[in-house]
Structure 1
Amino acid sequence: MAGQPVKRGLAGVTLDYIGSKYVNAGPEQCSYTTQAVQIPMSDGAKLAADFYDPELPDDQEPSGLIMIQCCYGRGSGISFLNARVFAARGYRALFVSTRGTHGSEGTFSPGLNEASDSQDIVKWMRQQPWYTGTFATMGASYLGYSQWALLVDPPADCVAAVIPVGPHDQAFHAWGTGSFRLDRAPWSDMMSRGPEERGSFLERLSRLPGLNFLAPKELEKALEALPLEASLQEYFKDRAPWLFEYLKNPDIDGPYWSTRRQHAALERLDIPILLVGGWYDPFETQTLHQYKRLSERGVDVNLIVGPWNHVQGCGLRSIPEILDFFGQHLAKKGDYGRSRARIFVTGAEEWRSMPTWPPNTESKPMYLQDSAGLDSELPGEDASSASFVFDPRNPTPSIGGNQMSSSGRVDDSVYATRSDVLAFTSKPLPEDLEILGTPSVQLSHSSDPAFADLFLRLSEVDENGVSHNVTEMYKALDPKRDMSKPLHLDLQDCAHRFKAGKSIRLVIAGGSFPMFARSLGTEEDRVRSDKIVPQTHTITIAAGVSQLNLPVYSPA
């Protein structure tokens, strides 16, 4: 079933012109028509979609076909970035709404049906008169996850993929740290609202986690209350049943998550792929894992990582590169012409072209000092330990970093003023220090009780004492760990130049709320209990047993 093709109107022309200027897409090549279609699935459900067809001279063929699967609607804002910008440059685009969303039949169950539905979409495409034999895929975030689900069984006629800030593993995002990632609740709130409640694309963005000043106050209160699961159940009622399955399944290797983890795609795909990430994106770790594994297999993979949060990384800053990538690998008319890894180095505020990521580096240890210092010199055998208390009733706040929306490089100086945080700060550096790769921490750490979490952040402190974040990590600690042995913890990858005169700071805390469900300090389930025990954390410093290791890069 299909409607009649509709020519682009004046409003569409205007929006496309403004949008193209904003994303630096360059001049249009043509106009296009849009046709509403319904795509039958093997189980009888029909998915709603829009087919974009460029209006080209009779002697000119389209540049190729791009397939996009989206759970956020097909309105003007999101369709510009995913379909219209390409249609106006000669590409056909099929923009499909995910099962159970925005006119598509069936029930939306995140991660469950994308693999089978995407294969059905491909089968249907092959039967259409406009299908020319090959296609590429495109889409960011959940749209990227849908691509990974397709690529578990890669169709032979899929010739390229562009995946900005797209996770392949839903379990890892939800529970990979050992604590539940609370951004799943605001996302579920947005996804479970009816059409009359969803509003515009920008209004839906405002409900994403992190934009707390725009999120429903009732949901904020639900996230703060204990027990967490009961509080969320009271808020959601019968909406978003998947959220409560998430809460019931903290074991990421368990059967519930098996269909929602697409690691097999990293072992099977063998097509050119462009990955786009952001240093402040919540899926940064997954994007860099994807690049590493595909590179190891010899896949034709390119990587861009910018100083972006999740929304910025969705393609707003990389459309020129995406167009060039499709020009070479789909249209067969151009040359991508970029290095394998194009990396933005914060601090230096410059883009860097590299043959791979990360480059070779040397580890530079900096030792925690008993005066809250950080230095390359070993502290003495008599250096005093440092401690703090994490109180679940007043959890350490999430500030910037890798949250979903209120993220990025921010002033996090307040951490150094809190009694539930340790902030170890170096003296001003005598010369520039550039780090590219994975900082790590060796920490001689104990907690009382044993049930505790750790949040670590690497920050830069300027000459005025103002601190800004560089990278971070979070981990729920194993209560059965041997506390006599040091912890070895990797922070997320970063690329940063600490300029001469700046200082390096390591922040250590027992939580980051509301990014993660707080540790309650008991053996009871953190999402089902309301019992709270404050946790005393102790860091042993004597003789350099606790240290920060920096991956220092030198062109020489």
Structure 2
Amino acid sequence: MTTATHHPSAKKPPLSTRAMRRVLRGLPPKRHDIAYEPGLAVPAADGSTLLTDHYFPLADGDFPTLLVRSPYGRGFPWAPMYGVLFAEQGFHVVLQSCRGTGGSGGAFDLWRHEAADGRATVDWLREQPWFTGALGTIGASYLGYVQWALALEPPPELRAMVVHVGLHDMHRYFYPAGALALENTLTSTMGLTSQHRGTRNLLRGSLRLQRHLPKIQRNLPLGEAYVPGLGGRVPFLEDALAHPDPEDAHWQGVDMGVAAERQTVPTCLVTGWHDVGLDQTLQQYGRLRRAGCDAALLVGPWTHHSALQEGWPEVFAESLAWLRAHLCDDPSGLRRTRARVHVGGRQAWQDLPDWPPATTGRHWYLDGDGTLRTRIPENTSAAGSFRYDPADPTPSVGGPLLSGKAGYQDNTALEARDDVLTFTTAPLTEPVDVLGPVRVELRVTTDTGHADVFARLCDVDDRGRSTNVCDGLRRLRPVAATDTTEAAPAAVTVAMSSTAHRFPAGHRIRLQVSGGAHPRFARHTGTGEPPATATRLLPSEVALHHPSRLVLPVAEEEPAGTGPAH
């Protein structure tokens, strides 16, 4: 039973924490007034103190519990998003600072303590008189990572998980395609080291990084250049820079994704088409489905941050329905299909029985005149070539970034550069619906053997504006020398992530190919030296050869089960 008298230290949440309801529209009305107990001391696995805030309804009755563990502090935005809003809907919400952050004891060590500390927190929950044994977890980004850590050995009370724009593999976050995700790594490191100290520290850290980022982008070695931008050396970042190889012993135990391969806890996954965690989320959804686990997927037109901002009413409704179904035995709010995705170009939601849906792989071949054709070109000359100069690296425009420049952006200026090749179809005579993973199969030669290949799918409208849809990068490595005088082109497949996008009639499909996207990815220096210590810059010549082709998963029929744009 939960009443105010059972919580003698309870108080009303601060006004700033309760203000989110007044700002956001589209949220359901609250069911309960709430209170909270701040600064509870929960023993970690080694006895360190994990500071914890407990939000709860001011009402008689038994309510399930949601566990939220964060390295970013227990204030904004987690307190209003999770603590207040879900307590108002009839949940105990336990919001905890990970060790070494937000006043908790011990030292923060990226990923290494999350599984043990999560289990220790559940041990503490079992001793609380208000805990009913019905437990769910919820959280975004690294708050999703700690959920997968707990799910490695799920406690018997765990009945539901909701992972928002989450991660499960930290190495793949730092090196998503074999190349360092420079800008996102710096931004997230700044957040991890400053946000748990309060909004003022976060703002100060953000401004410092913005001021120094141009110098970090220009200067080498990276292991020294980053330091002023973050106000000092950061041990976990130093380790990540020093160990780029995923097989290095440093990364042993970092990948929590294996939890999904044997998962039985019903799990709801939320991501966006320009979320930095999109590929990891879709991988986990596939693992859950293959394991036979009850799973749901929501993919919106969002970035990592906008999913929790303008996308929050949709995300909150999805999350609340999932938690009520599995913790409160109330499935009335669940949708009837496993997957719901927002289709770009149509600006509409589409309900699907699963993801990815059944599609046909359609091929468009790269021609030397800059066109995409449905037939293999008859000429045998190169499909195109460019010179990549790391002293003037090809810039990044939009896509899955943590900055305000993320998402859909005009690529016109980028495509005017000499180091960016474009291949474009004729205007489409009928719509083309792309639903699923996109890839390009290239035949490539380089003069040095060291290069990156960045490929991007774009939608060119009837006014000539080119907008990015999805993309990917592949790091090339030198091949062993042979007796031949001229190396044969290497077959290179670049995975370009996944999308749900309609190319309307009259629009054109465009493929970009270049040597990088800086500073989203650290520039390839051309030498093969480690990213932390490389100091030399060596340009490279990259040539594409026939037959190279773009492969799109195309829906052959008019999509069904669609809803209006939100």
TM-score range relative to shorter protein: over 0.9
Contact preservation (8 Å) 2:72, 2:196: no
Between the aligned partners of 1:421 and 1:505, the Cα distance in structure 2 is 12
Q: AA paired with 2:11? A: V
Contact preservation (8 Å) 1:192, 1:239: no
Contact preservation (8 Å) 1:428, 1:502: yes
Q: AA paired with 1:493? A: S
Residue in structure 1 matched with residue 414 of structure 2 by the alignment: 415
**Aligned match for 1:248, one of 242, 245, 264:** 242
Where in structure 1 are there 5+ consecutive unaligned residues?
A: 208-212
The alignment status of 1:147 with 2:147, answered yes or no, reads: yes
Contact preservation (8 Å) 2:362, 2:553: yes
Between the aligned partners of 1:308 and 1:189, the Cα distance in structure 2 is 22
Between the aligned partners of 2:76 and 2:527, the Cα distance in structure 1 is 49
Between the aligned partners of 1:186 and 1:398, the Cα distance in structure 2 is 15
Q: Secondary structure at the match of 2:293?
A: coil
Cα deviation digits, residues 448-484 of structure 1 (max 9, x gap): 1111001100001011111001110012112227753
Where in structure 2 are there 5+ consecutive unaligned residues?
A: 1-6, 481-486, 559-566
Q: Secondary structure at the match of 1:285?
A: helix
Q: Write out aligned runs for 1:69-468 (5 A).
A: 69-182=69-182, 183-193=184-194, 199=200, 203=203, 207=206, 215-233=209-227, 236=230, 238-314=232-308, 316=312, 317-338=314-335, 339-405=337-403, 406-468=405-467
Between the aligned partners of 2:302 and 2:241, the Cα distance in structure 1 is 29
Cα deviation digits, residues 45-84 of structure 1 (max 9, x gap): 101110011011x3x332x110000111111432111221
Residue in structure 1 matched with residue 484 of structure 2 by the alignment: none
Residue in structure 2 matched with residue 210 of structure 1 by the alignment: none
Between the aligned partners of 2:197 and 2:122, the Cα distance in structure 1 is 31
Identity %: 34
Q: AA paired with 2:187? A: P
Cα deviation digits, residues 185-233 of structure 1 (max 9, x gap): 23223322497675277x38x83xxxxx884312441243111112224
Q: AA paired with 2:281? A: T
Residue in structure 2 matched with residue 552 of structure 1 by the alignment: 554
Between the aligned partners of 2:141 and 2:220, the Cα distance in structure 1 is 30
Post-superposition offset of 1:400: 0.4
Q: Which piece of structure 1 moves more, 167-176 or 89-98?
A: 167-176
Residue in structure 1 matched with residue 37 of structure 2 by the alignment: 35
How has the CA–CA distance of structure 1 residues 33 and 234 changed in structure 2, closer, same or farther, with 3 Å as cutoff?
Answer: closer
Between the aligned partners of 2:514 and 2:343, the Cα distance in structure 1 is 26
Residue in structure 2 matched with residue 522 of structure 1 by the alignment: 527
Post-superposition offset of 1:11: 5.5
Between the aligned partners of 1:523 and 1:220, the Cα distance in structure 2 is 23
Between the aligned partners of 2:427 and 2:399, the Cα distance in structure 1 is 23
Q: AA paired with 2:108? A: F
Between the aligned partners of 2:230 and 2:85, the Cα distance in structure 1 is 37
How has the CA–CA distance of structure 1 residues 90 and 267 changed in structure 2, closer, same or farther, with 3 Å as cutoff?
Answer: same
Residue in structure 1 matched with residue 564 of structure 2 by the alignment: none
The alignment status of 1:506 with 2:505, answered yes or no, reads: no
Contact preservation (8 Å) 1:280, 1:403: yes
Contact preservation (8 Å) 2:13, 2:35: yes
Q: Secondary structure at the match of 1:492?
A: strand
Q: AA paired with 2:317? A: P
How has the CA–CA distance of structure 1 residues 150 and 195 changed in structure 2, closer, same or farther, with 3 Å as cutoff?
Answer: closer
How has the CA–CA distance of structure 1 residues 3 and 180 changed in structure 2, closer, same or farther, with 3 Å as cutoff?
Answer: farther
TM-score, normalised with respect to structure 1: 0.93
* Count of residue pairs brought into register by the alignment: 539
Between the aligned partners of 2:196 and 2:72, the Cα distance in structure 1 is 11
How has the CA–CA distance of structure 1 residues 266 and 12 changed in structure 2, closer, same or farther, with 3 Å as cutoff?
Answer: closer
Cα deviation digits, residues 337-358 of structure 1 (max 9, x gap): 2110001111111111111011
Q: AA paired with 1:533? A: L
**Aligned match for 1:537, one of 513, 526, 542:** 542
Contact preservation (8 Å) 1:517, 1:527: no
CA-based RMSD: 2.1
How has the CA–CA distance of structure 1 residues 16 and 458 changed in structure 2, closer, same or farther, with 3 Å as cutoff?
Answer: closer
Post-superposition offset of 1:397: 0.7
Contact preservation (8 Å) 1:8, 1:31: no
Contact preservation (8 Å) 2:137, 2:162: yes
Between the aligned partners of 2:257 and 2:69, the Cα distance in structure 1 is 19
How has the CA–CA distance of structure 1 residues 484 and 262 changed in structure 2, closer, same or farther, with 3 Å as cutoff?
Answer: same
Between the aligned partners of 2:210 and 2:176, the Cα distance in structure 1 is 27
Contact preservation (8 Å) 2:387, 2:540: yes
TM-score, normalised with respect to structure 2: 0.91
Contact preservation (8 Å) 2:399, 2:468: yes
Between the aligned partners of 2:239 and 2:129, the Cα distance in structure 1 is 42
